[in-house]
Structures are given as structure tokens and as C-alpha cells.
A and B are shown apart, each in its own frame.
Chain A
Amino acid sequence: MSVKQRVQVRINGEDTEFLCESRQSLLEVLRENLGLTGTKEGCNDGNCGACSVVFDGRLVDSCLVLAVETDGKSVETIEGMAQPDSLHPLQESFLENAALQCGICTPGLLMASKALLEKEPNPSEERIRLWLAGNLCRCTGYDKVVRAVMDAAKKMKVG
């Protein structure tokens, strides 16, 4: 067994500490060590986006980040997206627009969409399609996903 490393990281605003092997990805530690299973594994090689999280302000595939790299930094996951008493406008829009079917890619798509709208509050359809091209969805054909993001952008502007 390899030696475990101690990592201190802020996850969804909470200071968290865990022990991990240096070969473990952030995805594996989130899911297996911390029980944050909302972040999904689809390929484990950075090609599907199901494991998208925000690491130190940047949208990343958590399967491509080593858990030890997060020491002293911050991570945001799907579990931190809703408030205790209300959903994030994107989550609401995904529900209202029927933008999910099986739902396995949904956490990743939501994290990616949130990162986009924080950067660009008013993206065009083309921008949304470009930004979400790293998140594969096999169920929806993306139509309702793109509409949901546009809808959420509108709501957030008004709100």
C-alpha cells in the first residue's frame, strides 16, 4: 500500500481534510473518500465531462486532477450548487425545460453551464454550444440543454 498524503481543501465552502494516495484523482477522492457521488465518472480520461467541477475558479474534469493538487485550494461540486431552500436558476431551468433524461451527465453540464454564465452572463447559442462541447450527453441531443442555459441566463439577468 502506498503512503497516504494529507490534503486540506475547501469544498463547497467548507474546510475539508482527507487522506489519499498520490495516484488518486480528485474524482476518485470526491466519490470514494468523501462520498460526494454527485460528480459522475463517464470515461476517466477527460473526454466526457461528467466529472466537471470548479477547481480554484477553473472548470476542470476532476478525473484529470490529482487529489493532492487541491491542497490549500478550493473545489466546487454539484452538491454545492443549490441553496438549502432553493435551486440554482440553472437547476430550475433544466427541470422546466426537460433538459435531462437519464441524468448522468446533468451534474457535469450544470457545473459547466454555471461556469459559463459566471464568465459570460449573456452567451449566444453558438457560445453555449462551444462551451458545452466538452460535456457529452447521449440522451437529449443537446437541444433542450442549450435552451435551458439560455433560459437560465435570461432569468439570472432579471433576477
Chain B
Amino acid sequence: MDTSTSQEFAVVGTRPIRHDGFDKVTGRALYGADIRFPGLLHGRVLRSPHAHARIRSINLASAQALPGVKAIVTARDLALGSMSDAESQQTSSGFRYLSDNVLARDKVLYRGHAVAAVAAVNPHVAEQALNLIDIDYEVLPAAVNVLDAIKEDAPLLLDDLVTEELGTPSETRSNVAKHFRFEKGNVKKGFSEAELVVHRRFNTATVHQGYIETHNATALSSSDGTVTIWCSTQGAFNVRSTTAQLLNITESRIRVVPMEIGGGFGGKINVYLEPVAVLLSQKTGSPVRVLMTRGEVFEGTGPTSGTFMEIQMGMDRTGRITAAELDLYYEAGAYPGSPVSAGAQCALAPYNLENARVDGYDVVVNKPKTAAYRAPGATTSCLAVETVIDELCDGLNLDPLKVRFLNGVREGDRRVDGPVYRKIGYIETLEAVRDHPHWSAPVGGSNRGRGLATGFWFNGSGPSSCYITVNSDGTVSLVEGSTDIGGSRASVAMQAAEVLGIPAESVKPIVADTDSIGYTSVTGGSSVAFKTGWAAYEAAQDVIVQMTERIARIWETEIDKIGFSRGVFKSATDQSQTMTFKQLAGMLLKTGGPITGRANVDPGGAGPTFAAHIVDVQVDKETGKVDILRYTAVQDCGKAVHPSYVEGQIQGGVAQGIGWALNEEYAFNEIGEMSNPTFLDYRMPTSLDLPMIDCVLVEVANPGHPFGVRGVGEVPIVPPPAAVANAIANAIGIRLTELPMSPGKVLEGIWGITTNGRTA
């Protein structure tokens, strides 16, 4: 089988030094919090100490009287807050939720919910002022996890929320925002054909994206009504439209300047501080910078869902999966919108199943509104499916890799939720596992085990924009709107360089503000290398078209008599007549003026991607600690544009997945207080917790992209918890069904204490 891309490339597939690297290793790169202005004021946000409470009154008098305090804002200053009750009821619930999450009007729905904000001469004074704001709360009972929130007598978070039940709004108020179903075949019949059926329940903890840079926003409102915002975001245009909406400002009067971003992983798509900074700047006439502390990031920004999942799968003697049933309950946080739909779609995506049913429930709870987190929703549902398949293989004495070959999806197969696969690389990924020395190496040693798990992610696309200006020295400047979280400037620039026939280093990529580039959708969904790479590809083609026209004029010939290959223009009629890209670049200003190529795209065809991970663990049966001994991540990544950064995405995703598997969790008490909002107690993996993470790039070209590119960044976080759970089962014979599989949980498993199985 051909697992390689057939095209030959000069730049795509090489490993140049990234363009923004020098600034980032010397400390010169400017992140959101690094921007400084004369007269800058410092903003801080006051947050609710209660998980659920009604705001009776807010008294700002003492805070306003503190010397150095320049302005205080509350929800009343937002467009929604200034409306009458009747007016606000006319707005969409989505708008109200968005606004109330930025600054709460009547009710706070989680500890950490923003209520007011202060601008002062320095952050210490702002902090002092927060302590002087007097809020009278009527504390309400809280529903802090998904199982409590779906109980009939659960405290209700939102007055206007009714369940959308299989597409139809129901009558009664509830914390369940939505219940949906995907179905294929006849599940009952499928289970009757099974030799073995496994039924399990899973609980997984709320976890955070854990980017090292905290949220920040700096705003300057001018007296002419224009607004500039400097911030760390995954989507500058999203910041612009959301801020415009929440503050009732015409969108074009806002300019958003995306600064370097210190990690996002989905968590820097939501808008938190930008409208607040704008309000404070409007009130003071000064630039205002609002920063979050680490504690605020944990308590006030999007974690991803804690879940409860119930699953049943059947397998016949040959290893065929005869039926699968899943019920997925995902926490949305305070407002609707958990990633349960993606979780439901991804759960069974690696398998060609005849009979399956997946039900999903989106449930609001008294926790921060969830935000996207790398392959949102897929990691937990993958845990349920991949560990139950492993258990079925154990029970039927079947090889888990062979079972995946038997059931694995191929081109033309249909997913349970509908779509039919085009060219995909699941089987090729499994073949790479089979052929890898890790898979055949002996595990060796007591309490050691090996686990395998596979995962799926759609990959995204969206509108994107790019333009390329030719410089007289033969380099080009490339302007894009995709903020660069992990090296995407390089992968976008390389795709332009490939078309132009120039080295990657001759492209200078710049991420521009919203006034300087066409609309570009968020950096998310593993979309940038695909969509903005595509825009760069087309903009570069546009450059070549214009340069060909220019040469035609210089050579006094027809444009169709000129060919271009690998950076050289050639005459079709006279073989000796050639001109390099660089030579022509130097002549542009004297032959008709500058050349700028441009492209605005919204490409379809983002090919999905699969991952298969092998992990070896050692379990300390006395302490319950699990050590990762060896990790191999195999992934169909399409054509790897910059293999080092593809590996980096895989290694980073695996590390986050291992943290999710073994340590990370929001430790909530019953009244909804997070007891571990620090990096000391919210335990992310350190360098000492991990081995080297070996990557195998399986390059099954995406037929939907000119260079065969697929998104790569998200799927690596999908299999790790399942792979680790399977490895623990292989090591000590115990199936764990809760995340994190922290030492305590492992010991409970060893001692036979089941805290799981709490029923809905």
C-alpha cells in the first residue's frame, strides 16, 4: 500500500529554523502582557467566591474612594446590562450567556465568575480596590458535577434553559441543555450476535488546558470612538466580533492586534477580558491592561468537561465488534456548549460498525464555562471505547491490534454519525504499529504492562486570508491572520516557498491585525496548516501569475509561452531565455511596479486523522504511582510540512494526555470550591514525569489539499488516557474507569474499592 505522498517537494517536508524563533529564544518576542504604554492603567477583575448565588446588590463607594482607583465597571456597563428586562428578553440566549460570562448581571454560576473590574494606577491598588467592593450575595445550592446536575431535584442554573430533546425543545426547565442521538443498524440484534458483552461506567475529572501564559488584554479607546485591543488570542476576528457585540460597538471601529500567544490549546478562543479592558479604557480615556492571575485562569476560564459515560460493547469470537452503545454526559460548565457532540462523533470513528447507538447530553453545572481543549470531547469518549475493546480482547483472548485491523475503517466506510470516509490512513497507522520494534519488544519486569489505543479527529477548516508581497531582493513578505500557537508561521510560509521556488528562509511571515488582513477564522480545530497554508499556496500562485505577465511584457511574448518551475521562469520557445524569481523581483519597480499576490479561501476537504499509541507503564503497587516507561505515538499526519513541528505537536499532545490520564483534575468540594487552583496542586507533567516520546509519521496524503496536508495538532491527545489505562490493566490486571488514575485511585483499584458506578 502506498503510504507516501507521491509529489516531490523542495521545501515542504524539510526542517528549517522557524521564522519567529530568534525573537523567542532571546526574550524579544512580545506577548500580550509585554506591551507597555505611557499612562497605562492596570485592571483587575473581582470574581465570585460562591459557586452559585444571586447578586442582591453591589456597593462600589469604598473602592471608588481609594486613591489611585480610576474606574470600576460591572455588567451594567455592558450592552446587555444597560437594557431593560423586556429588552434583554428579546436578545438571544447565546448573547446573554456570552455577556453574563464576561460580567455577571444577576447571578453568579461558578466560583471565579467575573462580577466587576477595577482600573487603577498599579495592579496592587487595583487589587486593594477589589477587596473594598461590597457585594451582597444570596448563596444558592450548587450542582457541581454532571450526575448531581441531572437529578430531578437539582438546583437549576439558568432560568430560561429547557432541554432540546432529540431536536425538539421540551417544556420543563432543566440543567440538560441538549440530548441528541446517533444511530446505525440494530443494536439489539448486534448484541445477540456477541460472544462477550462488556458494560462499564466511567467518570472523568474536569481538566484545564494549562497554557503557561495567563489571559491578558490591553485596550485603548480613543475619543473618536475607535478602539484598539492588544491581546493573546487564538482568533483576533472572534475577539473583534464578540467585543463589538457585547459593547454594542460597530465592528469596524475595533482593531484587534494579536500579540504572541503563550499557548492556547483551545482555551484562548473564548473572550473574557477584552470587553472589560475596553470598558475601563472608555471610562478613563487611558490605555488599560487587564491581566489574570494563575488562580483566575483556573477558576475563571474554560476547563474541559468532566464526564460520566456509560458504555456497552459486544464482540463475537472472531473479534468483530457486533454492537456498541454509549451514553455520554458532559459538563458544559455554567452555560450550554460542552464538546459532547464531537465526543459522540469521534468515539466510534475508527471502527466500521453495523450496529451502534450514541446518546449525548450537554449538562450545565456550577463550574467555569468549558472552552475547547485539543480535540474537544474526543479524549474521554475514546477512553470508554478503547478500554472496553481492550477488555473484550482480553476476555476473548484476542490480539488487540488484530481486532483493530479487523474492525478498522477504510475508504468508503460510513461513520455512525453519518459521514463517509474519503482517503484515510487508519489501517496504515495500524500497520506502522505492527512493524514498530516497540510493539514486538518484550515488556519485562513485574507490574509492568503495555497498552494500545487508537483515536480519531476530524480536523477543521474555515475562512482564511493571505497576501504575499515580492521584495526587490527576491524574498517575499507573507501576511496572514492566523495567530501562531506552535510554529504555524513556518508551515504556512513553507507552503508559499514551495510554490515560489524559493527557500523557506526567503519568506517573512507576519501575523497581522484585523485591519491589515482579510477575515481569518480562529486558530483551532487543527486548521491552520490546512486553510491558511492553502491561502498561502493560492496567494503564491497569484504572485507567479502576475510575475509571468510581467516577464511576458519584458520578453515581449505571450504569457502561455512562459513556464515556471523551481524558482525559474523559462521561455517555451527559446530554451536559452530564463529568468530566476530573484532576478525578476529585482526588476519589478522598473517594469511596472510592485507585485502582491492575494488569496481569500474557505476550503473544504480537511482530511481527518488517526493516531495509534503504544505505552509501557510500571505500577508501584505500594504507592499506586504509575510511571511511563516508553511511549510511541503513530499518526497519520498527511504530508508533514515541517516534520519537527509535527512531532512537537504529537509530543505535546501526548504529554497533556498523560497528565489527564494520571494526575490532572479540578479538586472540587461539594459547595463548588476548587481546592487546587495552583500549578503546585494542579499537577501537570514535568520533564521528570515523562520519557522521550517517539513519533512515527505515517504520511497518507490528503486528496483534499494541494500538498496532501492534514491537520496534526489535536488527535495526539485522544488516545493517551485509554492507552495508559490499558497498560495498567496489562500490568496489574485491574481495569480503572476513572480519570485521573492518580495514586489514590490506583490503590483503590488494587484494594478492590469501587467509587465508580454511581448511577445516573
Contact = CB atoms under 8 A, between A and B. Distances in A.
A21 B124 contact: yes
Q: How large is the interface on B (under 10, 10 to 19, 20 to 34, 35 or more residues)?
A: 35 or more
Interface stretch (B4-12, B24-32, B333-341, B546-554): B24-32
A95 B688 contact: no
B210 A78 contact: no
B261 interface: yes
Interface string B338-351: 00000000000000
Contacts of B686: 132-134, 136, 142
Nearest to B651: A141
Contacts of B359: none
Interface in A5-33: 21, 23, 31-32
B25 A95 contact: yes
B214 A77 contact: no
A101 B652 contact: yes
Nearest to B121: A1
A35 B36 contact: yes
B28 A101 contact: no
A125 B687 CA distance: 10
B547 to A, nearest CB: 32
A36 B34 CA distance: 9
A87 B690 contact: no
A132 B687 contact: yes
Interface in B254-296: 260-265, 293-294
B700 to A, nearest CB: 23
A118 interface: no
A152 to B, nearest CB: 11
Interface in A53-107: 77-79, 81-82, 87, 91, 94-98, 100-107
A140 interface: yes
Contact of A40 (B15, B213, B642, B648): B213
Contacts of B486: 101-102, 139
Top 8 A-B pairs ranked by shortest CB distance? A38-B27, A104-B262, A141-B655, A103-B24, A141-B651, A78-B27, A98-B644, A101-B486
Contact of B693 (A1, A136, A143): A143
A137 interface: yes
Interface in B556-570: none
Contact of A129 (B18, B124, B688): B688
The A interface, classified by DSSP as helix, strand, loop or mixed, is: loop
B24 A144 contact: no
Nearest to A103: B24
A157 interface: no
A156 B747 CA distance: 46
A79 B265 contact: no
B211 A138 contact: yes
A50 B680 CA distance: 14
Given A43-B678, A47-B679, A96-B17, A37 B30 contact: yes
A23 B124 contact: yes
Given A104-B31, A104-B212, A139-B263, A129 B687 contact: yes
Given A78-B27, A140-B652, A128 B294 contact: no
A144 B651 contact: yes
A48 interface: yes
B487 A98 contact: yes
A145 interface: yes
B664 to A, nearest CB: 11
Most chain A CB within a 10 A radius of its CB, from B647, B684, B687, B692: B687
B25 A48 contact: no
Contact of A47 (B15, B31, B124, B680): B680
B645 interface: yes
B679 A41 contact: no
A107 B264 CA distance: 18
A45 interface: yes
B654 interface: yes
B656 interface: yes
B26 A98 contact: no
Nearest to B26: A82
8 contacts: A1-B68, A47-B679, A48-B679, A82-B25, A100-B24, A106-B24, A129-B688, A141-B654
Contacts of A103: 20, 24-25, 29, 260, 262
Contact of B652 (A47, A48, A50, A141): A141
B67 interface: yes
Contacts of A97: 644
A143 B628 CA distance: 14
A41 B688 contact: no
